[in-house]
Structure 1
């Protein structure tokens, strides 16, 4: 879809966004983004400025239509937030098809043309190219190409693959009108129990810094432009050292500890993100406990509330002048059905919503994530509690990104092109190859791997779909009838479902239940046993070692990709981005912020065997992607 253009007296084609028949400076495509930002900022009403400082979730209909009733997550009708509240930044969740996503994006932009200055919408997303489905963290790929979780990309230890992934994701995002990524997540997960590390790149600060550079290059290019996706890097200044590994989404996980004095280590990848021009930065929910810098105690309040972190460190010391957006729902509680998720106002729970917003502004944030309480901000300005000039500082940064992305000149996308680009065969094949190659072989006794040297194997399998197994052999009903057994399991966690979102977070113990090893040993008594563990956290694998002929890890891989790796059709080359602890006692005794900090780990960071691949067998000669 093409924008409607007008022609200035000198022949310049432009979008007449305010409908006055004149090419105003902010509409002039010949001016720089900085000049256009200054020109528009001077024209905006207080209400327009306030609306720009909020970003929340809105949902789309199955056919890409605009929802005018509150959805499962979104709180207000679409027209209310765009026309009534003046908001123009929205986080999208479920996208059923590429065409629906593109159509919805175009519908949003058409609606935005009705606002006083026609400010285009910026659509953002959490990661959506892998396997995790967690409304508070990430989404499974759906119509997009599917890759391993970021931890799996790190396991490949290949910057070119990272760059390729980021470029593919950029193309797919742009095709459906998504122009902002609420990632990369470059926290260093030094606490092994932390529930968000699947979306990280491990905790080697130097390597994560290099990955960050390649990732930003793939999404943003050398500088933001009309082909870029603007990245919001998170979670400043590092969300990995969570006390006991409990996540700061929840009241019991609000503290971050630095007993090893490693604050600067966790900060290192963010320095690189700033150097590489990340468009945005998101502080984490957590509050530092007992932290000092240069002999000065750091206030024990959530990082976004902390002026010492946002203004003194991020803005002044590190020189970041991009957009700082808070993580979601720091001002108001979130009620969904019969559950609640308290506002993450850690350390300032005693403040009301007005006090929280005022403190966030004083800390130096630009945009309130997961909120749409525009009236609250307007009341602060109209009462004199917050100066309008304070809003101007943030709105300048926010508008500049929109202009740099070219949204004011053409925010529309081609629905047919979206269907051709998103999830195309080449992208899917590249993603599946990365899934298989990221598989990490930890144990291979007596050269059990690769499997299936000859077609027609009898396979006892748990956790593997029939259609995936069919390319390699026949499913056996009992282990004793099989040539090999393959069991896929997930890393252990403690199920919880009291607070909203809690059930999606894998937290708590890293130990498998004792009965699992006993049951697996009975299988291993009958047939060689290959155990595949999905490491969304570094499970305690110790009890599995005696029973496994081969033990491998994946970080988000389809059944087809796992079998391609086990068979050697796509040889696995992954290495561990984190160490594997020997016991929970070792985990509990380790320092929260120290990398490689558990005593006598079973497998060190960087470990991974690489079995020799066999010649391809006829039964598995078709491309992996063709069977998806």
Structure 2
């Protein structure tokens, strides 16, 4: 029996536990060791039960039948030679039965507490079935909304993804992995998957090492620092070396530089796919490359089981390395308390989708809504002055589609739609009439337009619920054209012609290019795919019970041709400005080349996004003033205090997400024009003012230089505090001293 350990810190297990794990590994045959390194998909069939009894499998995935799981755990504990329990994996991405907004939507809340609570509830519900391991959080930094998996991400910024990813890890794992209702988390996909070419899933990623370290790796290091139990290798290759066989990632960075003590699992059959990449000639060589790189567990495919014995016999793989891998897996099982009790009793847990869980999902969805436009203050709707409201759109009353991608255990019957929520909220005061307008978001038929137009003409205002069905985003669902699909634009144009106030609610798994319709609607609420309680959350915003407070975690392009477009770009040697650009329609015939300003922009799309990172409107107004800094000439290594006065100058109590941005003007490598370095949610009453402060430490000023050293350099810095990445209130300081290397 292996004693349990509960600390989320993966270092320094008690000596007695390490000793007993060592004794257990010493008793294992090579086949049993490889069994611990093998994960199979199944639901309790005879062959899987036999494999468990024979010690040929250490983990299963995609079974949430508690009876099946308990029986497999019993077989593992009582019938296998060594009695080692199973890890039970499941994609619990943004909820189990109670579905929260998609991760990109949660990122729009800019609220670590909301993200942590969502993960805690997801873990609690999943654990009630016997699941003890989730393949989340996905913390790939991505700047390409064509990529379907942007829905699972936390956006384009490494700082925001680091803070929220760590919060998600803490929510899943709690303070004690052995505690009831906690499950092991898995940071994925290591690394660079969010930079796949063309936004196509599974595609190649070419990332210079300096950019990899400065942009794509920080969220993973933050997850490791937060004690994440496991990592998952990316499907993609990185600079020509697929992640599942990448020694640089798994050994040099993860193990040697970061000292990570958890284990690494492949993605689904990604070890076998090393040969499909053209990286290996066959499954045996694929098994060698993955094991040699340090991938500890193989998901679904069986190259380890089939070929590691021969590779060890041939001396190509040292069995001591196998022992290290198995030890890291057993440590996580010990942390989870599985050696003490691997049986699950659902009655020990709260009911699924209970009222407390629903309220948490509602709050998360509410804080995730981003108001992008509110012309003539058409929002919030005043139910006291409305007689009839037209609710139109295929997503207005579709309980399944609002759940979003990757919700294996979520059920439409649990959802409350926008139609239900609005009718419940206004009761008999306002008549809410509903028409779909389109059969679904991809429909190219005007057959239902007439009913929708008639309802709009008879209404005081129109709420239009459009966007993407859930299946249009997520894994393997990349899109080259990210406009509203089908005839949604045509429906908007037809309704705009009625002259009635038109409020667009977008439910989608990615940023969409809204340029063609933004001038045709009065207001836009971007709710992402909001989850189980999306309807009540959106209704809360529409009716003014809560002010919208979400901010964009990713830049919205004007057109797909601007991609990649993100706020923290480099300045270039010829930066664009409004004074130096021209539009394609304004160029004279036979114009000389130098007449266009010679700067970095598009002739037909300029250089600015439709909506910038960090942007989001409120029902009140916030004013920023009086920025202060603790020292204009601090020394390297000292903390710098920066603050500004935030005032609610409007008439409604509301929350503002105050954002801190930094620019290092001169560096050993060129630095971004702005980088997010802090944020706070601040609630103010009308007329209330509060000074909001931030601390810049060496960590916030550091970057990887051309020698791949993490350094803080002296020099000039600019600092902004405001409500988006386009904040104008600024100060500056000069950092004095010598360059310092950080660990």
TM-score (norm 2): 0.66
Q: Do structure 1's residue 604 and structure 2's residue 574 form an aligned pair?
A: no
TM-score (norm 1): 0.77
**Deviation string, structure 1 residues 538-591 (Cα, Å, up to 9, x no partner):** 111111111111111112223333223222334432111001001122126x59
Aligned mate of 1:416, from 344, 347, 367? 347
Unpaired stretches in structure 2, ≥5 consecutive residues: 4-12, 398-418, 435-450, 572-600, 621-650, 654-743
Indicate if the aligned counterparts of 2:135 and 2:185 stay in contact, CA closer than 8 A.
yes
Instruction: For 1:15 and 1:53, locate their aligned partners in 2 and report how far apart those are by CA, in whole Å.
Output: 18
Q: Do structure 1's residue 86 and structure 2's residue 56 form an aligned pair?
A: yes
Indicate if the aligned counterparts of 2:54 and 2:81 stay in contact, CA closer than 8 A.
no
Which residue does the alignment assign to 2:247?
A: 307
Secondary structure, counterpart of 2:194 in structure 1:
coil
Indicate if the aligned counterparts of 1:257 and 1:592 stay in contact, CA closer than 8 A.
no
Which residue does the alignment assign to 2:73?
A: 109
Aligned mate of 2:525, from 549, 552, 559? 552
Q: Do structure 1's residue 267 and structure 2's residue 197 form an aligned pair?
A: no
**Deviation string, structure 1 residues 233-280 (Cα, Å, up to 9, x no partner):** 1112332111111111xxxx2334459945422111111122222111
**Deviation string, structure 1 residues 70-120 (Cα, Å, up to 9, x no partner):** xxxxxxx43143235621211226x4xxxxx43332122112221111111
Which residue does the alignment assign to 1:20?
A: none
Secondary structure, counterpart of 2:465 in structure 1:
strand
C-alpha RMSD of the superposition = 3.1
Offset, 1:480: 1.3
Offset, 1:32: 3.7
Indicate if the aligned counterparts of 1:439 and 1:555 stay in contact, CA closer than 8 A.
yes
Instruction: For 2:331 and 2:561, locate their aligned partners in 1 and report how far apart those are by CA, in whole Å.
Output: 50
**Deviation string, structure 1 residues 154-196 (Cα, Å, up to 9, x no partner):** 1111122122222222322322222112111111112232211
Aligned mate of 2:106, from 139, 153, 158? 153
Q: Does 157-166 or 224-233 show the bigger shift?
A: 224-233
Report the CA distance shift for 1:33/1:230 in structure 2 as closer, same or farther (over 3 A): farther
Which residue does the alignment assign to 1:247?
A: 201
Aligned mate of 1:566, from 542, 558, 578? 542
Which residue does the alignment assign to 1:537?
A: 510
Q: Do structure 1's residue 453 and structure 2's residue 426 form an aligned pair?
A: no
Aligned mate of 2:497, from 515, 520, 525? 525
Report the CA distance shift for 1:345/1:193 in structure 2 as closer, same or farther (over 3 A): farther
Offset, 1:222: 4.1
Unpaired stretches in structure 1, ≥5 consecutive residues: 1-13, 17-28, 60-65, 69-76, 96-100, 131-140, 290-299, 333-342, 616-628
Secondary structure, counterpart of 2:516 in structure 1:
helix
Indicate if the aligned counterparts of 1:243 and 1:257 stay in contact, CA closer than 8 A.
no
Aligned mate of 2:365, from 408, 418, 435? 435
Q: Do structure 1's residue 235 and structure 2's residue 166 form an aligned pair?
A: no
Secondary structure, counterpart of 1:546 in structure 2:
helix
Alignment of 1:68-467 (within 5 A): 68=46, 77-84=47-54, 86-92=56-62, 95=64, 101-112=65-76, 113-130=78-95, 141=96, 144-222=97-175, 224-227=177-180, 228-248=182-202, 253-258=203-208, 261=211, 263-289=213-239, 300-332=240-272, 343=273, 345=275, 347-373=277-303, 374-418=305-349, 420-454=350-384, 457-462=388-393, 463-465=395-397, 466-467=419-420
Instruction: For 1:577 and 1:349, locate their aligned partners in 2 and report how far apart those are by CA, in whole Å.
Output: 35
Indicate if the aligned counterparts of 2:274 and 2:280 stay in contact, CA closer than 8 A.
no
Indicate if the aligned counterparts of 1:187 and 1:239 stay in contact, CA closer than 8 A.
yes
Offset, 1:396: 0.6
Report the CA distance shift for 1:128/1:242 in structure 2 as closer, same or farther (over 3 A): closer
Instruction: For 1:387 and 1:214, locate their aligned partners in 2 and report how far apart those are by CA, in whole Å.
Output: 37
Indicate if the aligned counterparts of 2:192 and 2:212 stay in contact, CA closer than 8 A.
no
Question: Which is higher, the Rg of structure 1 or of structure 2?
Answer: 2
Instruction: For 2:322 and 2:342, locate their aligned partners in 1 and report how far apart those are by CA, in whole Å.
Output: 25
Aligned length: 527
Offset, 1:223: 5.5
Report the CA distance shift for 1:33/1:488 in structure 2 as closer, same or farther (over 3 A): farther
**Deviation string, structure 1 residues 198-242 (Cα, Å, up to 9, x no partner):** 111112212221222222222223464344422111112332111
Instruction: For 1:422 and 1:448, locate their aligned partners in 2 and report how far apart those are by CA, in whole Å.
Output: 38
Indicate if the aligned counterparts of 2:555 and 2:566 stay in contact, CA closer than 8 A.
no
Indicate if the aligned counterparts of 1:257 and 1:593 stay in contact, CA closer than 8 A.
no
More relative contact order in 1 or in 2 (CA 8 Å, sep 6+)? Answer: 1
Offset, 1:614: 9.1
Secondary structure, counterpart of 2:89 in structure 1:
strand
Which residue does the alignment assign to 1:586?
A: 562
Secondary structure, counterpart of 1:543 in structure 2:
coil
Instruction: For 1:191 and 1:259, locate their aligned partners in 2 and report how far apart those are by CA, in whole Å.
Output: 19
